[in-house]
Amino acid sequence: MKNFDIVVLGGGPGGYVAAIKASQLGAKVAVIEMDQLGGVCLNIGCIPTKTLLRTAKLYQDLLNSKAFGIDIPGMEHVEINWENLMNRKKTVVKKVVGGVQQLMKYNNIEVINGFGTLLDPHTVEVNGERIVTKNLILATGSSVKLPKIEGIEEGYKQGTVIDSTGAIELKAHPKSMTILGGGVIAVEFATLFNSLGTKVTMLQRSDVILKNLDEDVRNTIQRHLINEGVEIITNTTLKSISGQTTYYESEGALKSVKSDFILASLGRVPNLKGIENLNLKVGRKGVEVDSHMETNVKGVYAVGDMVGKMMLAHVASAEGIVAAEAIMGTKTKIDYNKVPACIYSFPEVGVIGYSEEDAKKAGFDVGTSVFPLSANGKAMAEGETTGFVKIVHDKKYGEVLGVHIVASHATDMIAEAAVSLELEGTIYDLAKTIHPHPTLSEIVMEAAHGAVDKPIHIVKM
């Protein structure tokens, strides 16, 4: 019987990061993983989708090369090699997962492959063997949620209805696709397949996609997707699925759309199988924890998607570090309002903190400043002028409450805002910070100048 200081159940971004941190702090650690290290993110989520999106962006750049002064003879023959596209994805994933495996060895973490079942807070059974631990960190992740729609389960079994995993493993280039949902994942897949030449139709229940984001962000992305050829049908009620056809109600009438595949992107649910014996307190979003990620059972911690606070890989990793530190004697916590979130659309989206609407609801005396990408020299040079930066701030002290960026490199640029919020920075700090020229990052400084007084490079009356 093996004994450990900490056993981590699940080897995704929450689990493996927690294991590394705990080992660095001196604990004897084991990770139990039923599949591949890296979890959904590295294997079937973040990494493979971003790899495919890179190809989609390159393909679009090639198609628009003439506008940049490059004439390519026979452009009509430029096409997607689907098999090579998928092979590149597999190669990238293999390298990233292999890197995590090496990190486990380097940090002296024992990796046990198999499904772990908890007998009690200190005993895990895996592959018929019992493992004893002083503390547990649960990081079992989440699974795709299939809505209760007539015919959807039959379609899933037949292969016409797919989830995000199925979407990145298609054997051939689809000519058409219907996406159910209008959240972040739905927008990323709409961007991916539309850019690769697939006819994409999005069916959204509410009146706008990305409804939880700042109004300016969601309106900009929705308008841009429509301009790029994505058909977005809002205010719909999904009724049933039959074969390749989705039936929905819109404007009081029953309508339908037929496509090669139907991608269900309507949320995820926590994976709770195997932990039933612990009698953990589970809320609407997932396992309930305190600010140090400890559950209602002493010595048992939970992180990542199974907690459901924010289903993001970097959040799971941060929570994993908090849990490991708590076990090893250091109490830290996460301010979830200072966590950046990203969408890898074209253009990208990076957001953090309050939206304008939420800041007002929270009682702040809200000020905003917007600077458009169309007034930025680097954006014009790159031919990527769709987007803006919007700073939401408290008028009383000038504290930055939220930053919302729509730009070609927004997912990288949002880190500057994250540092600002973490340090309780103000619009004056951002305005005084000298940014390099020419860069897209200058739009942050310009928006800050606009919040303080007036931006330099546009006329603000």
pLDDT, tens only, 420-443: 999 999 999 999 999 999 999 999
Cα separation values, 408 from 166, 344, 386, Å = 27, 9, 8
Provide the token pair at 345: 């659309």
435 included as an active-site residue: no
Average pLDDT over residues 80-109: 96
Residue bearing the bigger pLDDT, 459 or 351: 351
Reported confidence tier of residue 74, pLDDT bands at 50, 70, 90: confident
Q: What is the pLDDT of residue 458?
A: 87
pLDDT, tens only, 100-157: 999 999 999 999 999 999 999 999 999 999 999 999 999 999 998 888 899 999 999 9
- Checking if the pLDDT of 267 tops 70, the result is yes
Q: Residue holding tokens 């547990």?
A: 136
Reported confidence tier of residue 461, pLDDT bands at 50, 70, 90: low
Task: Tell whether the torsion through CA atoms of 382, 383, 384 and 387 is positive or negative.
Answer: positive
Q: What is the pLDDT of residue 433?
A: 96
Average pLDDT over residues 382-399: 96
* Domains within the chain, CATH numbers bracketed: 2-143+269-334 (3.50.50.60), 152-266 (3.50.50.60), 338-452 (3.30.390.30)
Give the DSSP per-residue string, 310-335. Answer: ---HHHHHHHHHHHHHHHTT------
pLDDT, tens only, 445-457: 999 999 998 888 8
Average pLDDT over residues 30-50: 94
Question: Which are the contacts of 457, defined by CB distance < 8 A and separation ≥ 6?
Answer: 375, 376, 446
Average pLDDT over residues 23-47: 95
Provide the token pair at 389: 């930066």
pLDDT, tens only, 181-193: 999 999 999 999 9
- Checking if the pLDDT of 413 tops 70, the result is yes
- Checking if the pLDDT of 255 tops 70, the result is yes
Query: Which amino acid belongs to residue 174?
Result: P
Q: What is the pLDDT of residue 274?
A: 95
Q: Which of 173, 314, 404, 437 is catalytic?
A: 437
CB 265 within 8 Å of CB 186: yes
**Helices 410-422 & 442-452, crossing angle to 10 degrees?**
50
Q: Percentage of residues in the chain with pLDDT exceeding 90? A: 94
**Helices 313-327 & 13-24, crossing angle to 10 degrees?**
30
Average pLDDT over residues 391-407: 97
pTM, two decimals, is: 0.94
